């Protein structure tokens, strides 16, 4: 039954993989600098690593906003966010999974008469604004650095391009890692309080309950990347964001840095050790950070007429998305509880239903092992296929 | 990854070789016209054979560079411009070869008072193309310096136009001893020599726009 409830989160993960992987590898794939297979394999592996290793920070902040304490509620919240993203995308409105999930959690808070932690909410909203701004600042600085370095080293254009290709792969891997670390909270964050799993020992490593959920969510993201992101990547690379390879590298690197900053518990603790305020660990919209980074490059190039309409649509999305997701969550929670009689959560003052315990943990452990094996086999198959294709092409032209 | 670096290294060498071939081709052209104008038939034949080889080599190199760029997806965003640039550069050596062939087939009569001016016209037109090669090489390492290198190309192209104009004017206005057919033939040959600097200018325009895009 719990796996059925997880489907809404997995669907959210799948859409995230299908759409947001394009922010990481779109420009490189669209411009044919990196093949889709290579990009998809790198993105899938690093999304999973980022989610499992570093996903807890942003997820904890979402938990502060509203700890959804029944699995039925978590399912409905994730479903409301997913549907909001789906319909707003269909209507051509600017939308972000991050903002949708926050709105849906607030909707759950209202429905279950839980108080909204305004401190956490303000922290999250402030990050939505600082994310794209930081993206623009990083992109401006990095682009300047790249340009100055190129002038200094006087490297041949072809060699420079091969360096960029490697750079794009490394930046893409870092971007995918940060995407997994930061955005897994959107996919699985709401399920963490309602599905308490036991720590699982896999011999070589152990995974906490939350990490097991993040792993399953990350597999859904990887599935989205492998099955559906090709078209999006090619569209992003060739039409929406037609960037030079240099600019593409800078954009991906800036986005990765911003997402990493807002999900690294280590960095936040380091800031505290330095006597500075901690970094809020909050899920940020990767698309909006990418737009910020593109604006940063535009500013460096001296573009005077920045499209205010695009910036305006981002700002409007900060309001419309959470409101739409909040309303749909409220409505769906009402339907799920009253029509299907499913527990969707309760006020934190009253004791509620806790999901199945040890047996379910064991089941999840085996599911994870199965998923690990299937994913590894599939990735090896993809790499072999790609290598064979390259060999065939080389033979064709040189034999 | 080793495939990347190996292909890149090989391609860099081949591009340099292509530039060398064009550069040598231009020098041969200049020497060929000089030999013809001075009546040294052996030297002219020798230069004709050499430019034919050079033109064939340039064609082969051009095709292999284009091929590798496509197969290994090198410079995917600038590929069409790169292909156009290679074509424009190849056009220079093609024109030079065609010009020397015109001399060989049509055996135009170069009156002795015009010998020096003919040689000078070939020299200045060849110079425009010659100055283009360092600019093209610079594009690959320091694109921000391309424009200042191209100034010389534009200068020699203008000088070629002026020299050709003066030469044609002299032929048609002052040399009444020549028949109209001879005058028209000389004008035709002058036009051929001029074409080299015109091709160099077209390549220079393309190179200038490519370097601007690289700098942005």
Cross-chain residue pair A158–B140, CB shorter than 8 Å: yes
Chain A touched by B188 (CB under 8 Å) = no
The ipTM value here is 0.77
Facing residues of A207 across strands?
A: A200
Dihedral sign computed on CA atoms, order B29, B35, B36, B40: negative
Structure tokens at B157: 């192209």
pLDDT for A353: 47
Q: Do A161 and B74 touch (CB under 8 A)?
A: yes
- Residue A270: pLDDT band (50, 70, 90) is confident
Residue B200 CB contacts under 8 Å (≥ 6 apart), including other chains: B92, B128, B129, B131, B132, B153, B156, B157
pLDDT in tens, A22-59: 888 887 887 778 888 888 999 999 999 999 998 887 88
Phi and psi based region of residue A92 (left: phi greater than 0; alpha: psi -120 to 50; beta: remaining)? left
DSSP assignments along A15-64, one per residue: HHHHHHHHHHHHHHHHTTSS-HHHHHHHHHHHHHHHHHHH-HHHHHHHHH
> What is the predicted pLDDT for the residue at A354?
47
Question: Among candidates A34, A315, A292, A305, which has minimal Cα distance to A141?
Answer: A292
Contact across the interface for A158 and B139, Cβ inside 8 Å: no
Q: Which two tokens stand for residue A234?
A: 């090619």
Query: Cβ contact (<8 Å) for B11 and A151?
Result: no
Residue from A98, A260, A70, A121 nearest A187 by CA: A98
d(CA B52, CA B25): 9
Task: Report if residue A397 sits inside a domain.
Answer: no
Is residue A207 a part of any domain in this protein? yes
In a domain, A36, yes or no: yes
Whether A105 contacts A66, CB under 8 Å: yes
Tokens of A43: 């993105």
Question: Which of B92, B106, B125, B128 has its CA nearest to residue B186?
Answer: B106
In a domain, A394, yes or no: no
B71 close contact with A: CB closer than 8 A: yes
Asked if residue A51 is part of any domain, the answer here is yes
User: Chain B contact for A157, CB < 8 A?
Assistant: yes
- A161 contacts B8? CB cut-off 8 A: yes
Report yes or no: A166 at the B interface, CB cutoff 8 Å. Answer: yes
Query: Do B214 and B139 form a contact (C-beta atoms < 8 A)?
Result: yes
pLDDT, mean over chain A: 81
The residues near B188 (Cβ < 8 Å, ≥ 6 apart) are B102, B108
Contact B54, B28 (CB under 8 A): yes
How many other CB atoms are there within 10 angstroms of residue A83's CB atom? Answer: 20
Query: Token pair 């200068």 is at which residue?
Result: B155
Structural domains in chain B, sorted by start? 2-215 (1.20.58.220)
Q: Does residue A398 lie within any of the structural domains?
A: no
Residue A201's DSSP bridge partners are A206
Query: What is the spatial distance between Cα B44 and Cα B166, in angstroms, rounded to a whole number?
Result: 26
> For A302, what's the count of Cα atoms within 13 Å in the CB-facing half-sphere?
2
Q: Which of A14-23, A381-390, B178-187 has the lowest mean pLDDT?
A: A381-390
**Residue B123: C-alpha distances to residues B51, B87, B120, B193 (Å):** 16, 23, 5, 10
Distance between CA B5 and CA B7 in Å, rounded?
Answer: 6
Distance CA A358, CA A269 (A): 33
Pick from A32, A156, A244: CB nearest B141: A156
Helix A245-261 to helix A286-300 angle (10° resolution) is 130
Question: Which pLDDT value is given to residue A267?
Answer: 85
Crossing angle of helices A157-188 and B2-37, in 10° steps, is 150
Contact check, Cβ <8 Å, A394/B74: no
The residues near A46 (Cβ < 8 Å, ≥ 6 apart) are: A173, A174, A176, A177, A180
- Tell me what pLDDT residue A143 has: 93
Identify the sign of the CA torsion A386, A388, A391, A397: negative
User: What does the pLDDT look like over B128-178, one tens digit per residue?
Assistant: 999 999 999 999 888 888 888 899 999 999 999 999 999 999 988 888 888
Q: Is B140 on the interface with A (CB under 8 A)?
A: yes
pTM of the model: 0.77
Min Cα–Cα distance to chain A from B19, Å: 15
Smallest Cα distance from B67 to chain A, Å: 9
Q: Is A232 within 8 Å of A22 (Cβ atoms)? A: yes
Write out the residue range of the structural domain in which residue A140 sits.
2-388
d(CA B12, CA A157): 9
- What is the number of CB-based contacts under 8 A between chain A and chain B? 48
* Total domain count, chain A: 1
Residue-wise pLDDT for B50-87, tens only, equals: 999 999 999 999 999 988 888 877 888 788 889 999 99
């Amino acid at each position: 039954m719990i796996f059925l409830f997880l489907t809404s989160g997995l669907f959210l993960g799948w859409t995230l993989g299908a759409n947001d992987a394009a922010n990481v590898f779109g420009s490189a794939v669209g411009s044919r600098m990196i093949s889709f297979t290579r990009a998809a394999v790198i993105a899938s592996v690093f999304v999973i690593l980022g989610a499992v290793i570093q996903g807890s920070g942003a997820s904890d902040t979402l938990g502060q906003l509203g700890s959804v304490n029944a699995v039925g509620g978590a399912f409905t919240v994730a479903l409301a966010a997913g549907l909001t993203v789906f319909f707003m995308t269909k209507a051509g409105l600017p939308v972000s999974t991050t903002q949708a999930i926050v709105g849906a959690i607030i909707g759950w808070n209202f429905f279950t008469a839980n108080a909204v932690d305004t401190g956490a909410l303000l922290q999250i909203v402030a990050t939505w604004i600082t994310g794209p701004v930081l993206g623009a600042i990083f992109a401006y600085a990095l682009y300047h650095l790249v340009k100055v370095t190129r002038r200094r080293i006087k490297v041949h254009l072809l060699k420079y391009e091969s360096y960029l290709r490697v750079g794009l792969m490394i930046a893409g891997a870092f971007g995918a890692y940060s995407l997994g670390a930061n955005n897994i909270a959107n996919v699985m964050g709401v399920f963490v309080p309602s599905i308490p799993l036991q720590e699982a020992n896999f011999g070589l490593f152990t995974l906490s309950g939350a990490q097991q959920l993040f792993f399953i969510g990350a597999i859904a993201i990887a599935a989205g990347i492998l099955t559906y992101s090709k078209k999006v990547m090619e569209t992003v690379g060739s039409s929406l964001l037609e960037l030079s390879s240099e600019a593409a590298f800078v954009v991906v690197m800036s986005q990765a840095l911003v997402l990493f900053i807002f999900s690294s518990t280590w960095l936040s603790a380091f800031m505290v050790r330095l006597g500075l305020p901690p970094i809020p660990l909050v899920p940020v919209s990767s698309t909006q950070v990418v737009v910020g980074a593109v604006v940063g490059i535009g500013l460096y190039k001296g573009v005077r007429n920045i499209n205010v309409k695009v910036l305006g649509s981002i700002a409007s999305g900060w309001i419309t998305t959470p409101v739409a997701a909040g309303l749909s969550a409220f409505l769906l929670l009402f339907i799920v509880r009253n029509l299907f009689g499913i527990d969707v959560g309760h006020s934190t003052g009253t004791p509620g239903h806790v999901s199945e315990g040890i047996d379910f943990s064991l089941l999840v452990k085996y599911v994870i092992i199965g998923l690990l094996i299937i994913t590894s086999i599939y990735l090896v198959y993809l790499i072999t296929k790609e290598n064979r294709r390259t060999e065939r092409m080389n033979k064709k032209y040189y034999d | 990854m080793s495939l990347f670096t190996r292909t890149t290294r090989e391609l860099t060498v081949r591009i340099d070789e292509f530039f060398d071939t064009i550069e040598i081709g231009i020098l041969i052209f200049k020497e060929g016209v000089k030999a013809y104008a001075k009546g040294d038939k052996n030297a002219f034949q020798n230069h004709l054979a050499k430019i034919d080889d050079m033109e064939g080599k340039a064609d082969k190199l051009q095709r292999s560079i284009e091929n590798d760029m496509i197969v290994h997806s090198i410079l995917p965003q600038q590929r069409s411009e790169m292909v156009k640039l290679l074509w424009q550069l190849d056009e220079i050596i093609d024109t030079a070869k065609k010009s020397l062939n015109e001399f060989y087939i049509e055996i135009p009569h170069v009156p002795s008072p015009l010998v020096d001016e003919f040689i000078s016209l070939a020299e200045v037109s060849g110079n425009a193309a010659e100055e283009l090669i360092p600019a093209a090489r610079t594009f690959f390492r320091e694109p921000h310096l391309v424009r200042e290198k191209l100034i010389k190309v534009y200068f020699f192209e203008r000088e070629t136009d002026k020299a050709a104009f003066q030469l044609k004017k002299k032929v048609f206005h002052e040399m009444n001893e020549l028949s109209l057919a001879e005058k028209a033939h000389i004008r035709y040959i002058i036009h051929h020599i001029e074409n080299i600097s015109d091709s160099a200018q077209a390549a220079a325009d393309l190179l200038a726009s490519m370097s601007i895009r690289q700098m942005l």
